[in-house]
Amino acid sequence: MTEVILALNAGSSSIKIQVLPVARDAPPLMTCTVERIGSENARVLARVPDGAKSDRELSLPDHAAALQACAQELEQTLGAARVVAVAHRLVHGGKEFAAPVKIGPAEEQALTDLIPLAPLHLPGGLAGIRAARDLFPEALQVGCFDTGFHAAKPRLHDRFALPARLYEAGLRRYGFHGLSCQSILRKLQEVDGTLPGTLIIAHLGNGCSVTAVNDGRSFGSSMGFSTLDGMAMGTRCGRIDPGALLYLLREGMSVDDLEDLLYRESGLLGLSGLSNDMRDLQASDSPAAKEAIDYFTSSCAQEISRAAAVLGGVETVVFCGGIGENAAPIRDRIIGALGFLRSPEGGRPQFRVVPTDEERELAIAAREVLAEALAG
C-alpha cells in the first residue's frame, strides 16, 4: 500500500492540497485547488499527473465547505493509499511556535487562543486540522508556521516603538509568508547553486508581503504583528495610521466591525467597490478599478523600497504568489517604479519570477516530524 503525505495549505480565500509520497522529495501524485472561497462561483480543480481530473464551479461560502469539496476529490482519487501525515500551513504561531510540530489537543487549543492574531486565516487552518483528523484519524497532523521563518530576525526589526513590557508580552513584528520565503530560497539554491547576499521576496496574492532577506535569513517583513500591515491586499487595508483606527473607535465603531472593515472590506475590494480579485479589476473599465490597481502597484513599490533601505541595497527581487507570478502588467508597473534601486555594489538589481511551492515545504517538514516521531 502506498504511503502518502497530504500538504494542506489553507489561505484566506483559497485552499491547495498536494498528495505526495512519503519516501522521497518527489512531484505530487495529485493536487486539488479551491479558488474564490466565499463566492457563488468558487472553483474546484483536481489534477493527477496525466491531466485534469475535474474542474467545476460551485457556491462555497467558507473554508469548511471548501475542505469538504476537496475531501470528496481526495476520496475518489486516493484509492488504497494510506495517509500517514497531514501537514498544515498555519499563518500564525505567536511566541509559542516557530518550528514544525505535531498537532495534538494542547497545540490545537494554543492555536485557538491565537485566532485574534490572525482572524482571517487561523480559523481556516484549524478547520483543516479538524477535517483532516476526522477523515484520516490515524495520520500524524503536523503544523507548519509562516511566522517561523522570521523568528530569528534582528531584534531591531522585530520591535515596535512601544514599552519593552509589551514586546515581552508578545506584541512584536512576527512577519508572514515564511513558507513561501523558504520555498523561494530552496529553489534559488537548487537553480543557481547559491543565494544572493541581499534579496527581497515580494509575495503577491490575495495576501501580500515583502520580505527582506540577508544571507538567507529573514531580516525584516512588511507584515508585522498581524497580516494587516504593509501592502494593500485583496480585502486587507495594509499600512494605515493608527490614529485613524482610534478615530473610528471613538466615533462609535465596535471592535468587531473595525476588524471586519480592516480584514474583509478594504484593500482592492474597498478601493474598487467591485472585487478583491486582480483579474477582475484588470478586465474592468471602471475608474475605481484603475485606482485600486494604481494604489496596489504604488503600495508594493513603496514596501520594496523600504526593504531595500533596510538591507542597504538589494541584489535580487523575486516576485511570487498568484499576482506576482501571473500578472505581468502589474509586475512591470512595479518594476518601472523602482528604477532608482541599486545593489550594495551600485548596480541594477535583478528582477525574477520564481513560482513558490509552499506545499513542498509542508511535505518536507512533515517528513522530518514523522521521522522524529518514528525514532522516538
Instruction: Please report the pLDDT score of residue 319 as a whole number.
Output: 98
Provide the residue ranges of all domains of the chain, joining segments of one domain with +: 3-145, 178-353
Q: CA 285 → CA 147, 269, 291, 293, 332, distances in Å?
A: 38, 15, 11, 12, 20
180 and 359 Cβ atoms separated by less than 8 Å: no
DSSP string across 77-140: HHTT-EEEEEEEEES--TTT--S-EE--HHHHHHHHHTGGGSTTTHHHHHHHHHHHHHH-TTSE
Instruction: Please report the pLDDT score of residue 218 as a whole number.
Output: 98
Question: Dihedral of the CA atoms 123, 128, 133, 139 (nearest 10)?
Answer: -130
The fold for domain 3-145 equals Nucleotidyltransferase; domain 5 (3.30.420)
Instruction: Please report the pLDDT score of residue 376 as a whole number.
Output: 67
Q: Do domains 3-145 and 178-353 have the same CATH topology?
A: yes
The fold for domain 178-353 equals Nucleotidyltransferase; domain 5 (3.30.420)
Instruction: Please report the pLDDT score of residue 23 as a whole number.
Output: 82
Q: Which residues, at least 6 apart from 126, have a Cβ–Cβ distance to it below 8 Å?
A: 108, 111, 112, 115
Take residue 273 and report the three cell numbers written for it. 467597490
Exposure string for 201-214, b = 16+ CB within 10 A, e = fewer: bbbbbbbbbbbbbb
Angle (deg, nearest 10), helices 178-192 and 358-375? 100
**Catalytic site residue from 50, 62, 146, 277:** 146
How far, in Å, CA of 212 to CA of 199, rounded?
A: 6
How far, in Å, CA of 226 to CA of 312, rounded?
A: 26
The residue behind cell 480559523 is 123
Instruction: Please report the pLDDT score of residue 29 as a whole number.
Output: 87
Instruction: Please report the pLDDT score of residue 124 as a whole number.
Output: 83
Instruction: Please report the pLDDT score of residue 151 as a whole number.
Output: 94
Instruction: Please report the pLDDT score of residue 163 as a whole number.
Output: 98
Active site residue 50: no
For the chain (376 residues), the mean pLDDT of every run of 10, in chain order, is 86 81 85 89 89 84 81 76 92 93 96 91 87 88 97 95 95 96 97 97 96 98 95 97 98 97 97 97 98 98 98 98 97 98 96 95 94 82
